[in-house]
Structure 1
């Protein structure tokens, strides 16, 4: 495996933040999901993760820099003889600075070189927790560190919520997912996508993606919990005499009866025409009446209102309004 610093494109003096930034940038650009036509993308991505597992971990990075482990994360004395193990080699101990040179012999018919070296390694393994042959108890189970979570946001329309349509979420990892919005989800709520976050540094489970749902403002409807509210313009004669009018809903327009003598601001309720709820039902649509006069002056209406005021004047404001 290549030098992990070269794989990540950073200097050996790079800070933890610089290494992390380089890994995220490369992980996003080289992710297999974004390079489906490149057969080598998976290998490059695996090499990138392996490199980050070494230099992205403080302890492993220090060991690598000291030469105690290789680019594959394995101790140097494994797989290549014992030449690098504490000054010993397969031919005998290697003298250090100021040390007297010597080697193990078998002149007295005692233990062989290999027996003595094996005994040394066995004792070291027992003390260091590598599971030597003597006195080695059960290995403690290694705790794997989960990867970091990522945050993302998706903008959805009220129509998508009512119809149960999936929406596309682009994650910081470079992956794009189709996300189903659970019934009862409201603006600002987070959806957890397990295993869709950053990969773990030591082989543990990947982190999660926390996707925040944001409603796109609708030109007609306002959200009030599970209910929706809409203003419905009605003419003066419809409010006075009553009428059947068409009302828009997120599932298409429906017919509603406006009772005679309805005041402006009166709220009518259409059952089950609101947003989906967690119980499997729907909220209601609240329809607020708004009485609208003609845009142009109508002489006949003015004359009618004049006669009405002169003969049938009535009060609608109490003393609290200063009447």
Structure 2
């Protein structure tokens, strides 16, 4: 399968945001592991689509990919360096990825003050290396439960990033000593890894709580009963009260995301929605016509006309 996110989603490079989102949702509905358990090919296709959508849905990230600044996984591409780049970086070939805004002229001014004159060095120059900024795309469930992933650096080295449970998009993980090398005997900088979490087609995280919409049939709404509902821990049976209307919400305590600094978890909220059958047959139609004649009611009573 191609690594190009446009090819993965099956859209043109000039596709607009709506077209990209529509393409991702189509693949998610067809291939999500919750909908096709045990289908490795479908799962791989979904994961590739999720990563592609996560990269293209952000205008800034999409622009950087189109300009060749990052690859399809969101990692920085090694940029071509010229003599001036090396001279300005004072021995640091990754200065272009630095998150600091310090003026290099000040550093060299300090460096030159340490010289007693041209060709006469009287003082060593030492300074910490720059911090390097990276982005890492992770799945929804990896963000919920925590995980460990490998991050490829511009020089080809790979480092392990331990993702804490409950992390959210925009949060940054600091890897101490994994940044640019220091000047002289100065320590290396840090690697700052900004996390981007892929959307899930079923679960919606709001703080430490999980929200889903669960469709039920007409008979389940009228008669009530047990139905299966997905959670981040797997499927569970929930009780639908008899006479349930669309919009009624059930609460599963402790089925949400682990709270930071605590063993407690948030809750899961299940909003029920009554789904009509694909086709209303004559038997159902006749029954409802008869029922209407003797059980008519007005759910909109009291609303302004």
1:233 aligns with 2:218: no
Q: How does 1:1-323 map to 2 (within 5 A)?
A: 14=84, 19-20=88-89, 23-24=92-93, 57-60=108-111, 63=115, 66-69=118-121, 75=122, 145-172=127-154, 174-278=156-260, 279-320=262-303, 322-323=304-305
RMSD value over aligned CA atoms? 3.2
Is the 2:211–2:269 contact (alpha carbons within 8 Å) kept by the matching residues of 1?
yes
The offset of 1:304, in angstroms, is 1.8
Distance 1:308 1:174 in 2: 71
Gapped regions of structure 1 (runs ≥ 5):
1-8, 29-55, 70-74, 76-129, 131-141
SS in 1 for 2:231: coil
In the superposition, relative to structure 1, how do residues 195 and 246 fare at CA in structure 2: closer, same or farther (>3 Å)? same
Q: CA shift at 1:281, angstroms?
A: 2.2
Looking at structure 1, the residues matched to 218 and 90 of structure 2 have their Cα atoms a distance apart, in angstroms, of 65
Query: Displacement of 1:217 after TM fit?
Result: 0.8
Tell me, which stretches of 5 or more residues in structure 2 are unaligned? 1-80, 98-106
1:19 aligned counterpart, secondary structure:
helix
* Alpha-carbon contact 2:125-2:183 (below 8 Å) kept: no
Distance 1:10 1:67 in 2: 25
Q: Is the 8 A contact 1:267 1:289 kept in 2?
A: yes
Structure number with bigger Rg: 1
Q: Structure 1 pair 302/204, CA: closer, same or farther in 2 (3 Å)? A: same
Write the deviation string for residues 16-71 of structure 1: whole angstroms up to 9, x where unpaired: 7753298426999xxxxxxxxxxxxxxxxxxxxxxxxxxx84454685992223xx
Aligned in 2, Cα 1:21/1:144: closer, same or farther, shift over 3 Å? Answer: closer
1:97-142 Cα offsets, whole Å, 9 max, x none, are xxxxxxxxxxxxxxxxxxxxxxxxxxxxxxxxx8xxxxxxxxxxx9
Q: How many residues align?
A: 214
2-structure distance, mates of 1:277, 1:260: 34
2:239 partner SS:
strand
2:71 aligned residue: none
Post-superposition shift, 1:215? 0.9
Q: Is the 8 A contact 1:222 1:230 kept in 2?
A: yes
Shift of 1:308: 2.3
TM-score of the two chains, using structure 2 as the length reference: 0.61
